[in-house]
Chain A
Amino acid sequence: DAGITQSPRHKVTETGTPVTLRCHQTENHRYMYWYRQDPGHGLRLIHYSYGVKDTDKGEVSDGYSVSRSKTEDFLLTLESATSSQTSVYFCAISPGQEYGYTFGSGTRLTVV
């Protein structure tokens, strides 16, 4: 999607290992979000950021941490990956809540 890229697109990792997913934007939007998508659950918010070094928890934040050291990058870290964290992860950006979000193409993570 224009202006937002996620990396990697696919990853397989072992239980107990740390994993970092990256979201990069070129739109200079203030807000950035990490969601996970699982069948039957829609998208659920993990963490979000409302500025550099300003982050907060979403509804499913256990086992995840984030960092935003500059406007364009928002990192999601699974501190010790578990099989329950196998999912598709989407990053989103927004200039403000009335404008909706632009989503990245997603990262498919498999924890074995």
Chain B
Amino acid sequence: AQSVTQLDSHVSVSEGTPVLLRCNYSSSYSPSLFWYVQHPNKGLQLLLKYTSAATLVKGINGFEAEFKKSETSFHLTKPSAHMSDAAEYFCVVSERGTSYGKLTFGQGTILTVHP
């Protein structure tokens, strides 16, 4: 079985300050991990993915995430927030080895960026 816990339902930062969105996962198999972003009334866009290569993954728009197996974490970071980063972010796990790649979503973290 697999599960995802996003530790913060809301995160608020000032423009230009670092962003940290926290995610812990549970998986019976070697996981693939993803971060998706959803802007208001829009679909979901893939930010980055981890699939067993480098543990530090770089994504679009300056975001990156580090896979830490010992801590079962996959936190999303960005050095400097922009106003356009305001959105909802989802951490997602997929168990490799399953036949259909079912994704399990976290409940989401809403990021607010203040001027």
Contacts and interface: CB of A to CB of B under 8 A. Distances in A.
B100 A97 contact: yes
Interface of A: 1, 31, 33, 40-45, 48, 50, 56, 58, 90, 92, 94, 96-106
Contacts, number: 58
Interface of B: 32, 34, 36, 42-46, 49, 51, 90, 94, 96, 98-103, 105-108
Given A48-B100, A48-B102, A105-B43, A97 B32 contact: yes
Contact of B44 (A48, A94, A103): A103
A45 B103 contact: yes
B99 to A, nearest CB: 7
Contacts of A102: 46
Contacts of B102: 45, 48, 58
Given A42-B108, A98-B96, A1 B101 contact: no
Interface centre among B32, B43, B96 (most CB of A within 10 A): B43
